[in-house]
Amino acid sequence: MAESVYEGMFLLDSNRYARDAAEVTGQIPKIIQEAGGELLVSRLWEERRLAYPIKGHRKGTYWLTYFRLDGPRLSEVKRKCTLSGTILRALFIKIDPRIVDAVVEHAKTGQPLRTTAEGEAEEKPETKPLAEAEAAPVAEAEAAD
């Protein structure tokens, strides 16, 4: 069977991550490789306060991965994530084969990404901070008076 590329978003225990980040995040590639997968990208997304407590935690560390895996083996990865003490939650999404290369390259850079109407991924253009964007029309209007 053909292998697919998946995005995996892992919500990690922030306390354990703060104490030993390498050990906590090292579990993720190990789980994927034991299932016969190939890790493409693995990186920190962000740490933030949770909207509601999950397993008694009010803060979580989000870890983003992209990996190649045979479809039926994904259930094995999900099961191991559920049994892990450091992974609070995990979400997996199958990536459309047409945009795999662009999404994986984007994940390596960490830059914002948007998609076109045709579904192709493209880099998001540079934007001004909101304060600058709002100040420009006001300054132009004052100059016209």
Query: Quick check: 2 pLDDT over 80?
Result: no
pLDDT tens track for 92-134: 999 999 999 999 998 888 765 454 555 554 544 444 444 454 5
Sign of the alpha-carbon torsion through 21, 9, 111, 70: positive
- Three-state DSSP class for 2? coil
Domains and CATH numbers, the chain: 3-130 (3.30.70.60)
Q: Where are the alpha helices (DSSP H) in 8-129?
A: 14-19, 21-34, 74-83, 100-109
Q: How confident is the model at residue 3 (pLDDT cuts 50, 70, 90)?
A: confident
